[in-house]
Structure 1
């Protein structure tokens, strides 16, 4: 743990700071993957809603 000594001899214990880096923009391949996953998630949710609707109609 990194300790610092303040005036008067007091010790302070600070948390270790994470290394900071600048994020890189997604590549074209990553963008395509994000679009594909978004479409797949949308189809899944709409499909679940449709199934729930038809199941609830059967009485």
Structure 2
């Protein structure tokens, strides 16, 4: 979308998408998020301990 003034200058505007609301995660999704978080914590802990050992 754009407008033109009397000098011929163009002003561009972004097209705003329709807003949608997020849905609260189901218990199964919450469980998967918790497992992913635990895996990430274990990975980072392993990497930090490996760095200290080296």
TM-score, normalising length: structure 2: 0.73
Q: Could you list the runs of 4 or more consecutive aligned residues of structure 1 that deviate by over 6 angstroms after TM superposition?
A: none
Q: Which runs of 5+ in 1 are unaligned?
A: 5-10
Q: Distance in 2 between matches of 1:16 and 1:37?
A: 36
* Residues paired across the two proteins, number: 52
Partner of 1:45: 44
Structure (1 or 2) with the larger CA radius of gyration: 1
Q: 1:50 to 1:3 in 2, by over 3 A?
A: closer
Q: Which runs of 5+ in 2 are unaligned?
A: 4-9
RMSD between aligned alpha carbons? Answer: 2.2
Deviations 1:4-52 (A, max 9, x none): 6xxxxxx865321111011110111110111001000000000011111
